[in-house]
Amino acid sequence: MYGRFALGLRTFLANPPKPAAARAEVEKNLHDREKNFLRIAQHGIYDNPVSPYQKLLRNAGIEFGDLVRMTEADGLEQTLRSLRSNGIYVSFEEFKGRTPIVRGSFTLNVSDRDFDNPQLKSYYEGQTSGSTGAGTRVAMDLDHMTAMLNQCMVYMEVVAGVDAPVAVWFPLLPASSGLMSILMIRSLGLKTEKWFTPVTSAKMTIPFKYRMATEYARGMARLFGVPVPAPEPVSIADAGKVALWAHQQIGKSGACMVVSYVSLGVRVSAAAQEMGLDLTGCLFVGAGEPPTPAKVRAIRKCGARWMSSYGFTEGGLVGLSCRNPASENDLHLFRDAWGVIQSPVQVPGSNLVVDAFCFTALLASAPKIMLNVELDDYGILDQRDCGCPMQLAGFPDHIRDIFSFRKLTGEGMTLVGSTMLRIMEEVLPSKFGGDALDYQLVEEEDDSGFTRLTFVVSPKVGDIDERALIETVLDEVSRDSPGADLARAVWRDAGTLRVRREDPTWSTLGKLLSLRPAKRNAGIVFDEKGEKGEV
């Protein structure tokens, strides 16, 4: 695996896409969207005996010839809507292999590996954060990273003002965000000055294989004349070090970029203000969690600018900021790589129905085969005359005001229901008393824009050691994988988890929503009469 990685890395780093070639490749993929979709369907689904989609399609009586006729007659998005109405979709928990696929009388047991792209060459592997359950291994292919580089190159070509010294503040492997960001930014020709890592060896033990993989990648890059900065431990409490770096770079070059989780950007801005540092000229590029209005306001207080990005490990980059945005989280959808539709989904435990995104991957290099995959995200998908250069470059679709209806996020680390429900319904009652109805986990945003995950515990439980409860949760989260151990270290350092004694809140339907995401002020919902509206 490392040998294949070494062979590919030299080309990847030494021969980044030229603007003209990147533009030509992106334009080709925009023109061939339907053709690319059918190619993946043929080789990744119908020719793949382990593909869950093959079984779903054939259960619905849809063979490859039918799919070709539907696509040619109706176009890609309408075909995806027709498939969705016939039960051809995969929920987040199904995609992770945690629950079987059930469509009427049809039941199919799946694992996350069943969705792997069978044509993919796995140069190296990273993990999602793992706090969503057992860490899902995701192949990160250099060919797919090259495809994302093409998109970024087009973005840089048409959107000025992103060429500046760069610092990345992301964790080491097994979290893939740090190494992948460093390699891509360096390949774009940007000056990658620093790789700060918020999780130090004092906070968690990083397994030997991941430390070696990181150093191997750095060594290979250095051998090929493309130096990658050494990871420099900077804890969340020391955000002032990142602020000082940004201030110094602005003094030297007039500008800089800090690429990190949104909450870490808030911490850098707050530290800069405490230190009396003006960060006018700094561009924060945020990822990993929703950039709420409060968070973006907090980042801009130090004089910095803001830019959104949206993507996920299993599929790659979905979109980048519009230059004339309708909101803080308004991005141009990379429709060369994605087919996206929306479908009404009821939020568990409530009468609220949201317009959830369903993602279909269109590039053969994508790590996972994705056909109408729900990632528990919702928001607004539309087209408007924004006047941004990206619109003229062939990307008229906007995806904006993106939030999750079932995932909770703190400091870029994501929680999903399955693991936390076990802790809330089994572990905490067993250790601290009460029952599953006495505990609730609520996502909240404090006055500074930081996301807090608050454990609401009913007073009926009696006296409890709040610190012991938080430590119990952190220990349970870390049992699943090294990626989950990373989440534990980040949350402990940031003080993300806290306890409040009051009765849990029940829905109007008389249900207890054990995991309660923050109230959002944007998105598409449906009222009791089924009327669609934007709030």
Rounded CA separation 407/416 (Å): 5
Q: Is the pLDDT of residue 418 over 60?
A: no
Here the CATH number for the domain that contains residue 438 is: 3.30.300
**Residue 205 resides in a domain:** no
Question: 535 lies in a domain?
Answer: no
Lowest model confidence (mean pLDDT) among 34-48, 102-116, 132-146, 196-210: 132-146
Give CA angle at 223 (217, 226), nearest 5°.
75
In a domain, 121, yes or no: no
User: Which DSSP letter does residue 521 get?
Assistant: S
The model's pLDDT over 219-253, given as tens digits with 9 standing for 90+, comes to 888 887 778 889 999 988 899 999 999 999 999 98
User: In angstroms, rounded to a whole number, what is the distance separating the alpha carbons of residues 469 and 506?
Assistant: 22
Average pLDDT for residues 444-473, to the nearest whole number? Answer: 84
Selection from 148-157, 173-182, 401-410 with the highest mean pLDDT: 148-157
Residue 458 is assigned to a structural domain of this protein: yes
pLDDT band, residue 268 (cuts 50/70/90): very high
What secondary structure letter does DSSP report for 503?
Answer: P
Query: What pLDDT shows up at residue 514?
Result: 57
How confident is residue 533, by pLDDT bands cut at 50, 70 and 90? very low
Residue 505 has pLDDT above 90, yes or no: no
pLDDT value of position 162: 64
Looking at the structure of the chain, the number of domains it has is: 1
Q: Give the span between the Cα atoms of 85 and 358, in whole angstroms.
A: 12
- The tokens describing 100, both together, are 């079987």
d(CA 218, CA 215): 5
Say what the pLDDT of residue 535 is: 35
CA–CA gap between residue 402 and residue 355 (Å, rounded): 11
List, in sequence order, the alpha helices (H) in 440-506.
466-477, 482-494
DSSP H or E run through 300:
helix 293-300
pLDDT for the residue 351:
64
16 DSSP 8-state letter: P
Q: First vs last Cα of the chain: how many Å apart?
A: 48
**Helix-strand-coil split of the chain, %, nearest 5:** 40, 25, 35
d(CA 68, CA 83): 13
Helix (H) or strand (E) holding 232: strand 231-233
Residue 470 lies in a domain: yes
Q: What percent of the chain has pLDDT over 70?
A: 80
| β 330-333/451-457 pair status | unpaired
pLDDT one-digit tens code per residue, 361-370: 999 888 899 9
Residue 307 has pLDDT above 70, yes or no: yes
Strands 353-361 and 373-383: antiparallel
pLDDT for residue 510 = 42
d(CA 460, CA 521): 33
Domain span at 419: 413-504
Q: What φ, ψ does residue 284 adopt, rounded to 5°?
A: -90, 125
Note the pLDDT of residue 6. 63
Indicate the SS3 state at residue 137.
Answer: strand
Whether 472 is in a domain gets the answer: yes
Average pLDDT over residues 265-270: 91
Which ranges of 15-75 would DSSP assign to H, the alpha helix? 19-31, 33-40, 52-59, 64-74
* Tokens standing for residue 478: 């870390």
- Residue 469 covered by a domain: yes
- Does residue 457 belong to any structural domain of this protein? yes
> In this predicted model, what pLDDT tens digit does every residue of 180-208 receive, in sequence order?
888 888 888 888 899 999 876 555 567 77
Distance CA 400, CA 290 (A): 10
